[in-house]
Each structure stands twice: as structure tokens, then as C-alpha cells.
Chain A
């Protein structure tokens, strides 16, 4: 697998990251090296193998759905970098 700089830019946008030109090149080289190495898996025939999607043997562990406040409103806002008395604040979305 060999990805190009356009793919790096698309991935960066999807992951909400930014890279300058130097970092972009570095990322491209690193990712291509790693993906080459990951391509090793193609040597294994897995056509008859189901993907393993759950590691815990527990299935549907349920409990009573009891409503309670795990944290208060004030606590919920405590760690916010920007807030007012009721809400998280973010830059303006609509003009």
C-alpha cells in the first residue's frame, strides 16, 4: 500500500489534525513504512475466518435502569476550558 499526500491531507481533516509541509512529509513517509509492514497480513488466507469483534465473554449484562445524577451540573462544567453558568462555550457556529 502506498498513500499519497492527498490522502494524508484527507485523513488529517477527518481526524481534525493539521500538519505543516515538513510534518506532512514526515507523516507520509512514516505511514507508508508502517502500512507496507501491515500488508504482511495479506499473506494469510483468512477467507474462512470470521472477524473477532468482542473480547469479553459477557453478553448483555443488564441492570435496573435507575435514574440518578452521577455528577451535578456544576461538576459537569468544572473542567470546561470555556463556559458560562449553564453551558459549554464554543466559537460562533452560525452567523
Chain B
């Protein structure tokens, strides 16, 4: 079977009788089996996906199929799906089965999506390499000694290796965009609050957003269109109407684009990524877009403030895992206090414990103002400056990552190195604005490079349209 790059391609072949949903599911199941070593899935819903494929095929024949009929997806192991296991790639949720379905997942199901499995990720979405998963790392298909990025590593590999057409991930500080860049796929994070977080396991609630990993801009737009919108189960979800993004992808507009000067001059930036960025800038100018260097004075403050705020929120969110109501409970407990401690100590991995400890520290009475409140103040500065730049420019462009995919185990010795992998993605997360990573080239070793584009809140339509321009006119063959 040929490799499909978008739902539109799939639908053409379904409509002409070339392929059925059952064929598609069988094809992906075979690929998953053949590429088991990539460890992209924690669980495959074999029988269920085949059964659902038959149901969708019948609906297509009857002319009653939903907008996502023919789309086979995987979901990151942080999204609730009723009566299915949900573990956040953590031992502490061993055996847990969800009692309800996340709003975003339900909306996809209502449009006849087929869910083929549950995807590997960093434990509680904390990581940038998929190496903190309690179930082992997922591997980059291009080179199995390299990480796929994280935390939505399995979700990115699944799309990269043709183990599904699209994946639903989550992005707190780059967890969809960074693995997308490492795996040569499109990674999209919407405006904060655009998609309901009901049924998304919480890591850092003022950052968490559901996002997508796809092979096409069209599929990213369509998936957002289906998942976005108000939800009575999430009062923070935006009440704004949802645009028909997938119908608004064409544009002839000449845009104003800014790039942050220091991102291209930063020491940690791979020279080949810098060259690629400069090439993109030249070609955008050749297409008569205005591209200008801008200054962003807070670049060095982005990652530290992000880690103060996210660890604080994580330490609070993860206090619910206590061994009482669900998940793992240590068999070694002698009393209630030791039950909590032993359960959490045995159930959480090292990185998660470290972030809980940091978060507990920055929220402790003596240091709350010096760290937590301080970071909230810095967040306002970063958000306001980002918004100011986005009033002047339609888009900000920057590399998605400072390096291409790095080796497994490469950052074990240095706790800060892995945090700096997020350096270019957390700005959009601190500001709450939408951002996308689009494949834009390869380094000399053939490893993919992602271009990240940010725009104003709730202007996803423009972000997708511009991404199409990048895809069609800017990337050199």
C-alpha cells in the first residue's frame, strides 16, 4: 500500500474504491508489528480498531460518515479514553483504566476517527527525549541510536514511521513541536485554551495544550477544527467560535515576518540549522514577504522561568497520586504515611521526582516570592513583549530546536542540558500563543530540521495558511 500524507489523499482512494478503512487499519497494524523495536506504542487496539474500521466503512457506503472517516490515529498516553488504560508512561498509574473520554478525543470519535493505539511518551510528559518513560524510550526511525524528541516522542515516531496517519499529543513547553522537528513531521500547538483540557492528564495546567503531529498542514487544520471550542467540562476553554481552518488555507498575502536576532546568533545553535534558517529568510524575501530582525531582551530568562512555573504546577498536580484511589500502591507500607511515601517513591521515576522536589521548593513559604511569584512576573514581561512583536509582525519565525536529534543517553550527565533543548519552544508556551513546527530541511547527516512559526492568539487560520506557503514555496527540494 502507498504511504498517505493526508486524509484528503486517503478519501480520494476510499471514494474510488482503491482502499477501505479495514485495509488501512491492517496496513498500519502490519507496520506497527514490523517496527515494534521503535517502541512507539504502549498498547495497540488491534481488534477494536478493525471492528471500528468496518463500522466506518459501512457509514461511508451509506453516506453518513463523519469528517474524519478514513483517518487512523494514535493518542499519546496522557489522553483519557473510556475503558482504556491510561498511564502517562508511569508506573504509578499501573492498571488504571479511564472512566471517561477526554473532550478532544470524544470529538474526534464523533467524526469517525479510528484510534489504533496508545503512544509512548516521557513520564507525565516531563522530558524532551522520551527517555523518562517507565516503558523505555521510543526510537527515532531515521537512526535508532537517536532520540525522537519528547515528550510526545512515540506520537512523532508513529507518524514518521507510518504507524498511523496522525497522532494527538500534548505540548507544555514544546512537547509536540520539538519531537516533530526531530522526526520530520508537522507539530502544532494551538493557542492556550483553544482546546478543552478535560481528560488530559495535568502536568502544568497554565501551559498544557493538546496538539497534533501530522504529515500535512491540512490534517493539522482539520483536527484543530474538530477538537477546538467551548466545553462545559473545562471552564478555562475559550468560548470564541471555531474557524473552519481547513477551508482557509489559501493565501496570496505578503506577510510581515520577524525573527529574533539572538536566536540565530546563540552559541548553542547548530551551524547547519542556522544556515537553514538564513536560507528560509532569503527565500521568504524573494517571495516578497518582509522579513526583519527583531530584538527580544528576555531570551535568557525564558527557560528558567518556564521551569520554575511548570515544576510548581507539577508538584501540585501530581500530589493526587497517593496510592489511595487508583494506580499503584506499594506493598511495603506499614501505616498511612509510609503508604504515601513508598507508593510515590516507587511509582515515580527520577525526573518526575526531581521536578516535584523543585516545585515543592519554589512553592515553599520562604521562597515563594523569590521564585514562583518572580517567575510569574517574568512570564508577564515575556508574554507582553511577544504580543508587542506580534502586533508589528504577522509571524515570528525561529528554529524549533537548537540541534537536530541527539543520541540516546547523550544528556544523562548534565541535568540542565536537556532543559535547554526547549529553549526555542517555551516562548510560545509562556505567552500562550499558537505555534507550529514545519519540516524545512536536513543537515549533512540527513537529520530533519524544523522551522517554528508563532502568531497572535486565536489566529491559527493565518498560521496554517502561512505554513502552507512555507511548505510549497520556501522549502528547497
Contact = CB atoms under 8 A, between A and B. Distances in A.
Interface of A: 1, 3, 7-8, 11-12, 14-19, 27, 30-31, 33-35, 37-38, 40-44, 46, 49-58, 61-63, 70-71, 75-76, 78-82, 88, 90-93
Interface string B314-337: 010001001111111100011111
Contact of A88 (B95, B319, B324, B374): B324
B377 A52 contact: yes
B395 to A, nearest CB: 21
14 contacts: A15-B344, A19-B345, A31-B361, A38-B304, A38-B362, A41-B378, A44-B381, A50-B377, A55-B236, A58-B239, A78-B97, A79-B97, A80-B326, A91-B333
A53 B464 CA distance: 29
B100 A71 contact: yes
A14 B377 contact: no
A56 B192 contact: yes
B41 interface: no
Contacts of A18: 341-342, 345
Interface string B361-377: 11010010001011111
Contacts of B377: 46, 49-52
B379 interface: yes
A11 B374 contact: no
Given A27-B357, A58-B236, A52 B305 contact: no
A70 B125 CA distance: 27
B36 interface: no
B380 interface: yes
B345 A17 contact: yes
B47 interface: no
B235 A49 contact: no
Interface string B298-317: 10110011011000000100
Given A11-B357, A27-B354, A58 B415 contact: no
Given A46-B374, A53-B376, A90 B336 contact: yes
A52 B376 contact: yes
A49 B381 contact: yes
Contacts of B475: none
Contacts of A62: 235
Main secondary structure of the interface of A (DSSP, over half): loop
B432 interface: yes
Interface of B: 95-97, 99-100, 192-193, 206-207, 230, 232, 235-239, 298, 300-301, 304-305, 307-308, 315, 319, 322-329, 333-342, 344-345, 348, 353-354, 356-358, 360-362, 364, 367, 371, 373-381, 383, 415-416, 419, 432
Contacts of B100: 70-71
A52 B383 contact: yes
B335 A91 contact: yes
Nearest to B235: A61
Given A11-B361, A91-B339, A92-B335, A82 B329 contact: yes
Contacts of A38: 304, 307-308, 362, 371
B315 A40 contact: no
Contact of A35 (B319, B361, B375): B361
Given A55-B432, A79-B325, A34 B307 contact: yes
Nearest to B376: A51
B95 to A, nearest CB: 7
Nearest to A82: B329
A68 to B, nearest CB: 12
Contact of B99 (A35, A44, A71): A71
A81 B380 contact: no
A58 B238 CA distance: 6
A34 B358 contact: yes
A62 B337 CA distance: 38
A34 B339 contact: no
Contacts of B379: 51-52
Contacts of B193: 55-58
Contacts of A79: 95-97, 99, 325-327
A15 B334 contact: no
Contact of A30 (B206, B339, B344, B354): B354
B336 A91 contact: yes
Given A16-B340, A27-B357, A55 B192 contact: yes
